[in-house]
Amino acid sequence: MKVSTKIRSSTVRAGARGHAGFTLLEALAALAILGISLVVLLRSQTLSISNVTQIQRYERGVFITENNLHWTFLDLNEADQWQDYQDVSGQDGDYKWRVSIQPVDMALQFDNPVVMLRVVATTTWEEGAADRNYTLETWYLWGEEQ
């Protein structure tokens, strides 16, 4: 009896095996998407930092204005003449401030001579190409004791 052994060669086709990795086109597309995503995230982060800086500068301007108004009221409480504080200005770093006081013509009936004062405090600072400012306006009844 004759036994014949046939060896079958198995050939594997490329299509039947599937993908073993990424093609160059897929890798380039993934890198492009990653690059665009990073640019968008960096732009967003830069805008956030810029906005925080702008808000901090604005808060500083508000603080300086309120502080000068506060000190003006304290000075007026101790003043012999309100005209001594009629126009006061100064600078605090990059911030320029000014407090002006003007009498308001009102018909007031008091035993003591009193004056209604309009007090305006303004702080100005540079921000980019434009100047920013913050203004507070209030009224103060100033009188003399006899």
- Mean pLDDT for 67-91 is 89
- pLDDT at residue 52, rounded to an integer: 95
- DSSP strand E in the chain: where? 87-92, 95-104, 114-127, 130-143
CA atoms of 28 and 46, how far apart (whole Å): 27
Residue 120 or residue 3, greater confidence: 120
Give the N- to C-terminal CA distance of the chain in Å, as an integer: 145
113/37: higher pLDDT = 37
Q: What is the mean pLDDT of residues 54-73?
A: 93
Give the tens place of pLDDT for each residue, 81-127. Answer: 888 889 999 998 899 999 999 988 876 566 667 788 999 999 999 98
User: 32: which residues sit within 8 A by CB, 6+ positions away?
Assistant: none
Distances (CA, A) of 129 to 22, 60, 114: 50, 19, 44
Other beta carbons within 10 angstroms of residue 2's beta carbon come to: 3
Q: Which pair of tokens denotes residue 91?
A: 């600078």
Q: Would you kindly state where each structural domain of the chain is located, as residue ranges?
A: 23-143
Distances (CA, A) of 126 to 16, 77, 116, 130: 70, 33, 33, 6
How far is residue 96's CA from residue 89's CA, in Å, rounded to a whole number? 8
- Structure-token pair, residue 98: 């000014």
What's the confidence (pLDDT) of residue 5? 60
Residue 143 pLDDT > 90: no
pLDDT of residue 9: 53
For residues 54-66, average pLDDT: 93
User: In the predicted model, what is the mean pLDDT of the chain?
Assistant: 84
pLDDT at residue 45 is higher than 70: yes
Residue 146: pLDDT band with limits 50, 70, 90: very low
